[in-house]
Amino acid sequence: MNVRVHLLGQLCVEIDAVVVPGSAFPGRQGRLAFAFLAANRYPVGRDALAEVMWADELPAAWERHLAAVLSKVRAVLDRAGLDGERTLSNAFGSYELRLPPGSEVDFDAALVYLEDAEAALRAGRPGQALAAADVAANLARRPFLPGDDGRWIDHKRSELRAVLVRALEIEVELLRHRQDHRYALRLAEEAVGLEPFRESCWVELMRVHLATGNRAEGLRAYQRCRALLAEELGVPPSAQLEASYLQLLHADPPPPTPAPPAR
């Protein structure tokens, strides 16, 4: 049985040829309970799960309401072809989502592809690293549970942002070595926009400008970063950023563009 859970972009579950949309789950509480269990994949106590489902205020007799909602979630899984009781287990006051072997949750897949990219980069396999980083970035660009909010959702979104930024850094580095400077520049600007206080993003942006021979834009990027760090954080640039600045400062000017042949 092929099961894929989508928490990025739009909540849904693919079970072989059957697609279960988020609207099939019992209300907001049902969607949140299923998404939380799918995103974490470990036993969750009733109290913790109830706080996810009713973040503002627990209803009276909340334990009964919790059991009723999760019973309806099991019914949704049953109708889709899964064993609801086995998939959404309840033991010792805790609930756990146990998907069949080989199942995939897209949030977890983004983390796995980033790990694959890092491993391939360390092993000296740039093509494999670039492909894995590209998949990780495309997954991480999708919003996590759009339309919902909560502390745990914010935490997951922060994790996803970190995945995206690191994947972009890997892509920029490898694209620069491939001399695909236009695409590398676009991704470097995206990374800087996502994490303007992450100096490694600025370093990659400066390196791309240096690779294209555009020293002026590289120095301008350094000044932008330096001003941001000073005004917002009150700290000087790191040694890595200063080294990239000096490299830009003393780089040879780009060769002049040859004149077009005379007609």
Q: Residue 263 pLDDT > 80, yes or no?
A: no
Of residues 133 and 260, more confidently modeled: 133
pLDDT at 252 (0 to 100) = 65
Size of the chain, expressed as the number of residues it contains: 263
Give me the percent of the chain exceeding a pLDDT of 70: 95
**27-71 pLDDT per residue, tens:** 999 999 999 999 998 899 999 999 999 988 888 889 999 999 999
> With 80 as the cut, is the pLDDT of residue 261 above it?
no
| pLDDT of 104 higher than 90 | yes
Of the candidates 114, 106, 156, the one whose C-alpha atom is nearest the C-alpha of residue 131 is 114
Predicted confidence (pLDDT) at residue 259 exceeds the cutoff of 50: no
Helices (H) and strands (E) in the chain, counts: 11, 7
Taking the C-alpha atoms of residue 195 and residue 189, their distance in angstroms, rounded to an integer, is 10
Give the number of other CB atoms < 10 A from CB of residue 171.
26
Q: Taking the mean position of all CA atoms in its chain, how far away is CA 3?
A: 21
Q: Which domains does the chain have, with CATH numbers?
A: 3-102 (1.10.10.10), 104-180 (1.20.58), 191-252 (no CATH)
CA distance 247 to 225: 16
Looking at residues 114-140, what average pLDDT do you find?
98
The pTM (predicted TM-score) of the whole model is: 0.89
Which band of pLDDT confidence, cut at 50, 70 and 90, is reported for residue 257? Answer: very low
173 Cβ contact list (under 8 Å, min separation 6): 204
Per-residue confidence band for 256, with pLDDT thresholds at 50, 70 and 90: very low
What pLDDT digit, counting tens, does each position of 161-203 carry? Answer: 999 999 999 999 999 999 999 999 999 999 999 999 999 999 9
**What does DSSP say about strands 12-15 and 18-21: parallel, antiparallel, or unpaired?**
antiparallel
> Running DSSP on this structure, what letter comes out for residue 24?
G
Distance of CA 133 to the CA centre of its chain: 11
pLDDT of amino acid 14: 94
Confidence check: pLDDT of 260 > 70: no
